[in-house]
Amino acid sequence: MAAPAIHPGEDMNSVGDAVSAIPLTHPAGRRWWIAFAGAVALLGLFALTLGYLLYEGVGIWDNNNAVVWALDIASYDWWIGVACGSILVSGILLLLEAEWRGPVNRIAETVALLGTAAAGLYPIIHLGRPWFFYWNLPYPNTFNLWPQFRSPLLWDAIDIVSFLVVTLSLWYIGLLPDIACLRDHAHGEAARQLAAVSPTRKVALFRAQAYGILASGWRGSAAHWQIWGQAYRVVALLGILLVVSVQTGASVMLAGSVMPGWHGTLMPISFLIHAVLSGVGVTAAVIVLIRQVYGLDHLVTDRHLDALARLMLCLGCASAYCYGAEFFDTFLNGDAAGRAVLVRRMEGGHALAFWAAVLGLVLPPQIFWSARARRSAPALAAAGVLVAAGAYADHVMILVVTLTQDFLPSSRLPYAVDVWGIATFVGSLGLFLTLVLLFVRYFPAISITAIRRLVPPGSPEEPAGAQRQEAALRGSGQEAPLWGVAAAFPTEAELATALQALSTLRGPVRLDAYGPVPMPRTLRALGLEGRSILPYALMGALGGGAAFYAMCVYATAYDYVFLIGGRPRFSWPSFVVPSVSFAMLCGCLAVHAALLVLNRLPRLNHPAFNIPDFHRATGDRFFLAAEMAEDGTDAARLERRLAGLPAGGGRPLATARVPR
């Protein structure tokens, strides 16, 4: 029997309080500062290395005319592989609507975003003159020149920009409702400190205002939730397509070359599998770390550990198959040069990278055949770190061993790993860890919304004094212009029943619903069924991809003909790779814009915020709001209709008149 995805006894309030307490109260203060100091030290090493790199040049990595790609490109490939694996896992879980996905999705999206940020620095610093990185982008420059659209360097630039946009959009969309929950918790804490004249009241007020701006006026209305869910899934789908494009595009480029050891048809599949495995490994290690440090084992349960372990086991078996298929195919059907490369990988000067890759990617996941190991947090974290290290060794092995010796004896130059190459990679790890710690410090580490959807519906008691608060608001409503009538409900089912009873009033009044989780039962009563964000995504993706492809054709085949390597003027396979990435970028921008425009966000001030206890709309309450004319002629009739509903059949806990 599967372990529960959430411990019994949890409710919406306890989930929100447990996750919000981490960024608001910082319970692991000393341990966090120690870890942050270590990460900043590594980040300082990164800054020192980049400073020396800018002064001396890329030769500090000890690359040579044969091994032009070494730890710099291996590090880039590893970081982008981690990002690809993380976003693929998050997207698939989201599209499959796995109920236990809450903690995994948030961490995977964060790892994808920060991994992309770390990867994006490598193509820039690899240029030698990184301050001219924008020369890779297609823009009208002073010499009327176009970048080389057949070059993988341009592909990397487009891929990185697209990945940054997609991962940032997916991360922010998933965070948006949780930031609103943080906003309301922070405003409550700021009000308490202001009343007590606390010395930290200004900091608390600033924090509440910052979360309010980031939340963009999110109110949790049914319309918000409907478009939010669609946008979240569509951007996840675009991210999955971008992952497949990036990983297969880079590997097909290698497989299409004449270099021995690269032209294998299995390489695109193995690249994708190893990328996903490394992403799962890093995500698992970060999840275990957050779970142990902040004591979130009641929300990140053994079921989450078991699911990640099973996924790592499947990917480890797939990785073993890829290595086995490569060995058999090379020794049985390969040419002499290919067999020589495989032998050099196992016995040559860089054999350590080969064996580290094989042992790291294949063996550690096999411990998860044991059910006890699958539920062991230390075992999961250790296996995650080992498979990530194995994936890095695999990239080093593929690049260095092949480039040190090709078909020409005059091109064979030895390569030794240089300390500056190692320092650059270790420094990029410092950048990643610093950003991870800042994320955990200031944002919800796991998805409050996704976990709340697992909480069984309950009927929390209305706090004492609610009627007095309602009466006081009614008195103020007589002095201020009336916006509408609001009612509070304990569950979505009660709210949906009340909306159905009031559906005949949709003409004179405008009904809306607010709640802490998506409310699909309310859409029909509110007349919101049928709204879709998919046309915006299709138009953005198809339009952006077609425009970029047309630009490639025009620039390369007509305006600036520059033939290299015997490639034809119309090199459509080379044009497809960046065009697909740009299509995903444009589709994501279109979805994000539609999310904000259709929901009329950002709007930091709205009459709904005047509803009594409306901060509980991001906690454990569901609210009905009926906007009406200023004279309030329909207010009394609506209140009588609500009061006449049976208990448990749509009767609200409380009603109130709300001023504008």
| Domains identified in the chain, total number | 1
Residues 599, 314: Cα–Cα separation, whole Å: 41
Q: 113-124: string of b/e by CB count within 10 Å (b at 16+)?
A: bbbbbbbbbbbb
Which amino acid, one-letter code, is at 323? Y
- Which three-class secondary structure state does DSSP give residue 292? helix
Question: Looking up tokens 């009612």, which residue turns up?
Answer: 487
pTM: 0.92
Residues 244, 237: Cα–Cα separation, whole Å: 11
Residues 517, 449: Cα–Cα separation, whole Å: 6
Q: How many CB atoms lie within 10 A of CB 68?
A: 13
Query: What was the pLDDT predicted at 217?
Result: 92
Query: What was the pLDDT predicted at 464?
Result: 41
Q: What is the pLDDT of residues 114-170, one digit of tens each?
A: 999 999 998 888 877 788 888 777 876 667 778 888 877 788 888 899 999 999 999
H/E stretch holding 173: helix 152-195
Q: What is the pLDDT of residues 423-468, one digit of tens each?
A: 999 999 999 999 999 999 999 999 999 999 888 765 444 444 444 3
Residues 465, 60: Cα–Cα separation, whole Å: 71
**629 secondary structure, DSSP code:** -
Residue 477 CB partners (closer than 8 Å, separation 6+): 656, 657, 658, 659
Which residue(s) pair with 221 in the sheet?
514
Strands 622-627 and 482-489: antiparallel
Residues 520, 229: Cα–Cα separation, whole Å: 10
Q: 507-526: string of b/e by CB count within 10 Å (b at 16+)?
A: eebebbbbbbbbbebbbebb
- Which three-class secondary structure state does DSSP give residue 160? helix
Q: Is 31 a domain residue?
A: yes
What is the percentage of the chain residues whose pLDDT exceeds 90? 51
Residue of 392, 386, 406 lying closest to 338 (CA atoms)? 406
Query: What was the pLDDT predicted at 556?
Result: 85
Residues 592, 472: Cα–Cα separation, whole Å: 40
Residues 191, 276: Cα–Cα separation, whole Å: 45
Compute the residue count for the chain. Answer: 660
Residues 130, 54: Cα–Cα separation, whole Å: 8
User: Sheet of 510-514: strands edge to edge?
Assistant: 510-514, 622-627, 482-489, 654-659
Say if CB 163 and CB 584 are below 8 A apart.
no
Say if CB 622 and CB 492 are below 8 A apart.
yes
pLDDT under 50: residue ranges of the chain:
1, 459-478
Tokens for 236, please give them. 């996840």
H/E stretch holding 482: strand 482-489
Tokens for 655, please give them. 């009603």
- Establish whether the linkage from the previous residue to 602 is cis, with ω within 30° of 0: yes
**361 secondary structure, DSSP code:** H
Q: Apex CA 615: angle with CA 612 and CA 616, to 5°?
A: 90
Torsion, Cα 260 266 268 272, to 10 degrees, reads -120
Q: 12-22: string of b/e by CB count within 10 Å (b at 16+)?
A: bbbbbebbbeb
Residue 279 CB partners (closer than 8 Å, separation 6+): 81, 82, 83, 84, 85, 86, 87, 88, 89, 108, 111, 112, 115
Query: What was the pLDDT predicted at 496?
Result: 92
Q: Is 534 a domain residue?
A: no
Q: How far is CA 336 from CA 341, 342, 347, 401, in A?
A: 9, 10, 16, 16
Q: Apex CA 447: angle with CA 95 and CA 185, to 5°?
A: 145
Q: Is 30 a domain residue?
A: yes
Q: How many CB atoms lie within 10 A of CB 625?
A: 23
HEC string for 30-50:
HHHHHHHHHHHHHHHHHHHHH
Say if CB 291 and CB 377 are below 8 A apart.
yes
**221 secondary structure, DSSP code:** B
Q: Is 363 a domain residue?
A: yes
Q: Apex CA 377: angle with CA 372 and CA 382, to 5°?
A: 100
Q: 586-598: string of b/e by CB count within 10 Å (b at 16+)?
A: bbbbbbbebbeeb
Domain extent, residue 304, equals 18-133+151-449
**Residue 654 main-chain phi, psi, to 5 deg:** -160, 155
Tokens for 334, please give them. 């390969």
Q: How many CA atoms lie within 13 A of 87 on its CB side?
A: 35
End-to-end CA distance of the chain: 53
Residue 601, Cβ density class (10 Å: 0-12 exposed, 13-18 middle, ≥19 buried): middle
Tokens for 82, please give them. 């981690």
Residues 293, 76: Cα–Cα separation, whole Å: 30
**What CATH number should be reported for the domain holding residue 100?**
1.20.1630.10
Q: Is 144 a domain residue?
A: no
Query: What was the pLDDT predicted at 4?
Result: 67
Residue 103 CB partners (closer than 8 Å, separation 6+): 287, 291, 296, 299, 300, 304, 445, 446, 447, 451
Q: Is 652 a domain residue?
A: no
Q: Is 170 a domain residue?
A: yes
Tokens for 202, please give them. 């200004």
Q: How far is CA 496 from CA 35, 491, 505, 514, in A?
A: 47, 9, 15, 11
Q: How far is CA 414 from CA 327, 350, 417, in A?
A: 24, 10, 10
Q: Is 427 a domain residue?
A: yes
